[in-house]
Structure 1
Amino acid sequence: MNVLFVCSRNQWRSPTAEKIFQGYLNHNYRSAGTSDSARIKISTKLMEWADLIFVMEKKHKQLLISRYGTQARSKEIHILDIPDEFAYMDQELIDMLKVTIKPILLASM
Structure 2
Amino acid sequence: MAYYGAGTVTRPLRVVFVCAQNKLRSPTAEAVFRTMDGWEVTSAGTNRDAITPVSRDLLEWADVAVCMEKRHRDVLRQQFRGALPDERLVTLGIPDDYEFMDAALVALLERLVPWRLDGVTPRMDA
| Candidates 83, 88, 102, aligned match of 1:90 | 102
Q: Render the CA deviation track for 1:7-57: whole Å, top value 9, x for unaligned.
A: 000000000000010120221000000001100000111011100110000
Matches within 5 A, 1:32-43: 32-43=44-55
1:14 aligns with 2:26: yes
- The TM-score with structure 2 as length reference comes to 0.81
Residue ranges of structure 1 left out of the alignment (5+ in a row): none
Equivalent residue, structure 2, for 1:3: 15
One-letter amino acid of the counterpart of residue 112, structure 2: T
One-letter amino acid of the counterpart of residue 31, structure 1: S
Equivalent residue, structure 2, for 1:23: 35
Q: Render the CA deviation track for 1:49-99: whole Å, top value 9, x for unaligned.
A: 100110000000100010011223356011000000100000000001011
Percent identity between the two aligned chains: 34
Q: Which has the higher helix share?
A: 1
Residue ranges of structure 2 left out of the alignment (5+ in a row): 1-12, 122-126
| Candidates 60, 67, 76, aligned match of 1:64 | 76
